[in-house]
Structure 1
Amino acid sequence: MSERFTEDEFAFLRHVRFGELPTRVRPEDLVTVKETEPAPDYADLAYDVRHRAEG
């Protein structure tokens, strides 16, 4: 036979297991993410450095 818990009991059990929740992030604290171009491969960077060194 399984026990039936109330919402308050579930809230208490969550608090005991996970502790205090972090404070909620306010909308004005959010940051807009801007996509950038992906970084070139390492092989491409090595080729460019060698090419520049050889002139």
Structure 2
Amino acid sequence: MAENFTDDEFAFLRYARFGELPQRVLPDDLVPLRETEAAPDYADLAYDAKERAEG
């Protein structure tokens, strides 16, 4: 049987579980994202490091 909680009871349960939530991010604080090239694969990085170490 499910219990019916009021909004205040749900708010208290959220606070008890997660603590105080951070302030809401305002639209003026958001920054646009830029697409970039994909990062190199880790295997490629490891191969380059080995090649540089061996000379």
**Stretch moving more, 34-43 or 11-20:** 34-43
State the Cα distance separating 1:5 from its structure 2 match: 1.1
Q: Number of aligned pairs?
A: 47
RMSD: 2.5
Higher relative contact order (CA 8 A, sep 6+): 2
1:13-41 per-residue CA deviation (whole Å, 9 max, x = no partner) reads 11111110101111111111000122445
Residue number in structure 2 paired with 1:6: 6
**Structure 1, unaligned stretches of length 5 or more?**
51-55
Compute the TM-score of the two structures, normalised by the length of structure 2. 0.62
Compute the TM-score of the two structures, normalised by the length of structure 1. 0.62
Of structures 1 and 2, the larger Rg is shown by 1
**Structure 2, unaligned stretches of length 5 or more?**
none
Give runs of ≥4 in structure 1 deviating > 3 Å.
none
